[in-house]
Chains A and B, each alone.
Chain A
Amino acid sequence: MELHLPNRLWHFHGGLHPEQQKVSTRDESIRTSALPGKLILPLQQHIGAEAETCVQAGDTVYKGQTIATATGYVSAALHAPTSGTIIGIEDHPLPHPSGLSGTCIIIEPDGKDEWWLEKPAPVDDYLALDPADIRQRVRDAGIVGLGGAAFPTAVKLNPPSRHHIDTLIINGAECEPYITCDDRLMRERADEVIEGVRIIRQALGITQVFIGVEDNKPEACAAIEQLIKDKKLKDIKLTRVPTIYPTGGEKQLIKVLTGREVPSNGLPADIGVVCHNVGTAASVYRALAHGEPMVSRIMTVTGGGVHEPCNLEALIGTPISHLVAQAEGYTDQAERLIMGGPMMGFALGSDDIPVIKGTNCILVAQSSEVETPVQPMPCIRCGRCTSVCPANLLPQEMYWNARSRDFDKIQDYNLFDCIECGCCAAVCPSHIPLVQYYRFAKTEIWALERAKDKSDHARERHEFRLERLEREKQEKAERLAKKKAALAAKKPKDGTAKVVDSKKAAIEAALERAKAKKAQTDVKPQNTEDLTEAQQRQIDDAEARRKASSSDKASKEKAPEP
């Protein structure tokens, strides 16, 4: 197939040049993290349905053994990162801005790090595999996008047939300050990345590949380029892209490399592009060539709050405190713990929280590195936020609408195209926490949608109930009519007056009884015989309360107005 490599680059709107801060870790080679005392594995580490546990507390598991299975198409399996014992399946705080807890599998490592015997066999000739086979293996390995969003990779390898995919973009931009894990990966394991790229290309059935790397990583670019040259892979092209934050955003990188724009509310597949992170590519290679599921990842532990910033290959589920200890612990200046980078990350309340598949950075910031929250000043409508917005939105308009909780209007300004990159808030001279407003508006809108769904559901159920009651009433009436007809047919033709009289009397007596009973109370609880003494006491108490409250009401009503 003829290749159409662009000989130019495009620009996305806006962007920033925040301080890089990558010096402290860019020359730190990847170290394997020591085995922690326990691993905490949340069932929800990815976008999509929560995984379902297939092990029990007390089970012995081996490295790579499936401990939770995917529960839907958009879901990811979970594997034991090392051998050991499952000491519990319980709620534990999650790495999430809410600080809420979720179900986690907790493993106590036995220190042997023994591989599971039933792990998938390595495939030597992985480039000859069928696309469906590759997808299945990637799915079984629980691989999710390592760029941060943690979207199940197998789903992205299977774009709907209505899309014609012609370009694969491998994201090695790593635009956020401080983070260097992808840089190190490309420098040290370029081979894994390139082989992974070839497998992904095979799965998608396309040839054209761009690897986009920011030009502040010359060594990584050189390593990848050398390998492409050695392997004579003419159709894979490494492109140096200018260092502008947020070039690493999926939509932004696609724009820079291809000039195409992902439509609002659309996916890259809509414009024929699929985008994967370099780390994801390396994981795909390991899953196929070594049969290793996703049990670890590379992450940067950095910031002025740790003594020795470093790049660690850590097991999924390692508590953050354990990683910080390997960066020689907190300094006295440690001020805030952030998961992710300084622009898009979120603060954590505790270091007992585990790292997950999507964690690319643990930033322990000192006070000079993070902006201390200040009382925001009023918006002066300077428009700087608009000029830096990489999604071409109107941040100021969205701010006004979020502030006044006008959730219909804010969607007219395409709130959901906001990638929460933080550029607008970073340049705001009034220090308005703009992104917080957008996040607030997004979750509020989702809550409103859920409430709407729930009320629609309740309406349906209520209508069904009314229908059911009506039907039951009719059925009862029919039954009665039938019985009456049957009785009328049986009735003796010449009944004596005496019999009739006695019958009438009996009926009247029964009616009297029923009336008296009805006068007592409208509805009577069922199953009130054979109660224990305690239950009877409770009933009596409740009755007494009810009487007291009704007499209260009555006396209040009677009381004259003051």
Chain B
Amino acid sequence: MISAILTISLLALLFGLLLGYASIRFKVEADPIVDQIDSILPQTQCGQCSYAGCRPYAEAIAAGEAEINRCPPGGEAGIQALADLLGRDPIPLDEEVGEEQDTPMVAIIDEQVCIGCTLCLQACPVDAILGAAKSMHTVIENECTGCELCLEPCPVDCIHMQPVDEDFHNWKWPYPDTLYLQTPKTRSA
């Protein structure tokens, strides 16, 4: 009897020590679920979700403060991925935050009109606008996430959004159903 109690207690102590050691030795620094959510979010940093960026939104989702349907750039696919990750049911995009856009957009500054006020530089979340006070500004197209945050502050409305140019590096084959309608013509007109 006494030996059984002793054995069990000893084992409990041993495992307790082992677990305690492991929790210190293999401590995970950040909250991994936030990282995982953040890696699904499209990183446009547009703030349409009403949070200050993608990371704060990810933290809010992880904390259970926000629904998973508040990211228009991520769209249906993003909601589906978040639902899969978190084991929830996918829900339609919250209409309050905006609509999903199919084509990726990029901001373009009309350089003739730009007065060099630097307001858009301060608004850009990824430092994708190049310029200085009283100098013309321009968007580095490769870095632009299409968040539209630069449109509002511009005093002369010289920034507009346009679809990203399609070239044969980013061209995609269409979904086959649409192919039946196209028969390439043989001769040029």
Contact = CB atoms under 8 A, between A and B. Distances in A.
B175 to A, nearest CB: 6
B167 A364 contact: no
Interface stretch (B2-10, B20-28, B89-97, B152-160): B152-160
Interface string A519-539: 000010111100100010011
Given A334-B186, A461-B127, A525 B173 contact: no
Given A436-B176, A456-B43, A527 B184 contact: no
Contacts of B186: 305, 330, 334-337, 351, 364
Nearest to B133: A526
A349 interface: yes
B171 A462 contact: no
A373 interface: yes
Q: Is the interface of B mostly helix, strand, loop or mixed?
A: loop
A528 B179 contact: no
A73 interface: no
Contacts of B116: 526-527
Nearest to A50: B169
B117 A458 contact: no
Contact of B171 (A443, A527, A538): A443
A109 B170 CA distance: 33
B85 interface: no
Given A102-B168, A455-B43, A527-B133, A334 B173 contact: no
Contact of A102 (B157, B167, B172): B167
Interface residues of A, number: 56
Given A447-B172, A526-B133, A458 B183 contact: no
A525 B155 contact: yes
B126 interface: yes
A437 B176 contact: yes
Contacts of B166: 98, 100
A321 B186 CA distance: 11
Contact of A100 (B45, B115, B133, B168): B168
Given A330-B186, A527-B117, A459 B43 contact: yes
A440 B176 contact: yes
Contact of B173 (A351, A443, A456): A443
Interface string A98-111: 10101000000000
B125 A538 contact: no
Contacts of A538: 113, 156-157
Contact of A462 (B45, B153, B170): B45
A94 interface: yes
A427 interface: no
A530 to B, nearest CB: 9
A348 B173 CA distance: 14
A349 B182 CA distance: 10
A307 B79 CA distance: 57
A404 to B, nearest CB: 11
Interface string B100-144: 000000000000010111110010011110000110000000010
A527 B115 contact: yes
Contacts of B167: 100, 102
Nearest to A97: B173
Given A458-B43, A539-B156, A94 B115 contact: no
Contacts of A290: none
Interface in B43-93: 43-45, 53-55
A347 interface: yes
Contacts of B168: 44, 94, 96, 98, 100, 102
Contacts of A539: 155-156
Given A433-B176, A443-B171, A461-B127, A348 B119 contact: no
Contacts of B44: 455, 458
A307 to B, nearest CB: 14
B183 A373 contact: yes
A522 B24 CA distance: 48
Nearest to B119: A525
A242 to B, nearest CB: 32
Contacts of B157: 538, 542, 545
A348 B179 CA distance: 14
Contact of B170 (A321, A450, A523): A450
B155 A459 contact: no
Nearest to A102: B168
Interface string B26-44: 0000000000001001111
Contacts of B188: 321, 350-352
Nearest to A452: B39
The 6 closest A-B pairs by CB, nearest first: A455-B43, A525-B117, A347-B184, A443-B172, A350-B188, A458-B43
23 contacts: A98-B166, A100-B171, A336-B183, A350-B187, A350-B188, A351-B186, A364-B186, A436-B173, A442-B173, A454-B145, A455-B145, A458-B43, A458-B45, A458-B143, A458-B145, A465-B125, A527-B118, A528-B117, A538-B113, A539-B155, A539-B156, A542-B154, A542-B157
Given A458-B145, A526-B134, 5 more contacts: A337-B184, A455-B41, A462-B45, A527-B117, A545-B157
